[in-house]
Structure 1
Amino acid sequence: MEENENTFCPWCQTEIVWDPEIGPEEECPHCFNELSDYRSLKIAVSDGDNEVEDEEPASDVGKQLSNDDLWDDEPESEDAYREMVNQCMDTQLEAPDCAACRELMLFAGTQNVKNKHFTPVVPQALGVPFLSGPFEYHVYVCPSCFRVEHLLSEQDRKTMIDRLTLKKEQK
């Protein structure tokens, strides 16, 4: 890896600024992937008379798509995508960070869980389930890495807190 003061992670495309006294980072502080040349391919691409070297991450499991791979050389498509993501984000009350890349996630909808599809655990200390069906959770999708995450709905969070708090007060 070249020792620049600023570099971009080949996995999450986040700019990494490192302290010249400490030296370059060995792993990305955002996605925790290695930043060395290990798992990287250097590809020479001819662009007219110029030859450009491109560096793509390689993986044992499979190729991770970058945003450039998704847009087929149409930067205006990526700009339109980002603009619409930002507009959707502006209407959300809650936007959790993606666990993989720390990007804000888009609210995709609500999922209902019924009693017949959910078997609650009864902790010995509590004696009753702290979460029982039916309940709802919100589904979020990361617009960068497309990871899907679930978050208990606001009302069901309160119900869970009440159940755990009431049991403690009864002792």
Structure 2
Amino acid sequence: METTVCPWCQTEIVWDEELGPESECPHCQNELNEYRTLNIDIDTEEDELATPKLSHTYDEPTSIEPFWEQDIINAPVAFRALDKYESSHDLMNYEEMVEKVLDQQEEVPECPICHEYMLLTGQQQITDSNFQPTKVSFLQSAVLQPPFTVDIYVCSGCFHVHNTLCEADRLRLIEGLSK
């Protein structure tokens, strides 16, 4: 019988020679093939340990920015929409006010674009005149009948607008589909 040590949880895995090696750790379900495994050759001289050779390449940062700020600097333009107002507005005060508004909200959704928290800016009533419901044949009616209300959220970082069904109409939708 041979043994393998899981590189993630350090569990010793004993496998039967008839069945063959395990493809994943039975303890942490880590794949034991080379997909998530890093093999380091320990039989090297001290000079080689000082300058490790990596199997992949990466761009070294040109400035001495903290690691967490590098992601912001390399972020797509949509994520950095707030920064263009930095010279003309006090963004520290803006962020404080955003925090106060978020503290007052019952729900605080995360922006699907930049993952900042979204501000509830209002509600919109959807009526018969501006909404054409989809009728489902086996329901013999629409999935959601107007009028209903949607909450409108705006991202505090990239200003993406997002709508979600209000709480009362969520319950109405659940009750209508659960009959």
| TM-score bucket of the superposed structures, by smaller chain | 0.5 to 0.7
Normalising by structure 2, what TM-score? Answer: 0.58
Instruction: Report whether the alignment pairs 1:121 with 2:134.
Output: yes
Q: Distance in 1 between matches of 2:87 and 2:99?
A: 22
What is residue 131 of structure 1 aligned with on the other side? 144
Q: Which residue type is aligned with residue 118 of structure 1?
A: F
Q: Distance in 1 between matches of 2:131 and 2:79?
A: 33
Computing the radius of gyration from Cα coordinates, the structure with the larger value is: 2
Does the C-alpha gap of structure 1 residues 121 and 145 become closer, same or farther in structure 2, counting only changes over 3 Å? Answer: same
Matching of residues 1-171 of structure 1 within 5 Å: 2-4=59-61, 6=67, 7-10=70-73, 12=75, 66-72=81-87, 77-166=90-179
> What secondary structure, in the 3-state scheme, does the structure 2 residue paired with 1:155 have?
helix
Q: Distance in 2 between matches of 1:73 and 1:110?
A: 30
**Residue by residue, what CA displacement relative to the aligned partner does 1:77-134 show, whole Å, maximum 9, x if unpaired?**
0100000000110000001110101111000001001111111001123221120111
Q: Which residue type is aligned with residue 91 of structure 1?
A: Q
**Residue by residue, what CA displacement relative to the aligned partner does 1:8-35 show, whole Å, maximum 9, x if unpaired?**
24354xxxxxxxxxxxxxxxxxxxx6xx
Q: Which residue type is aligned with residue 71 of structure 2?
A: F
Number of aligned positions between the proteins: 116
Q: Which residue type is aligned with residue 82 of structure 2?
A: N
Structure showing the higher strand proportion among its residues: 1
> What secondary structure, in the 3-state scheme, does the structure 2 residue paired with 1:151 have?
strand
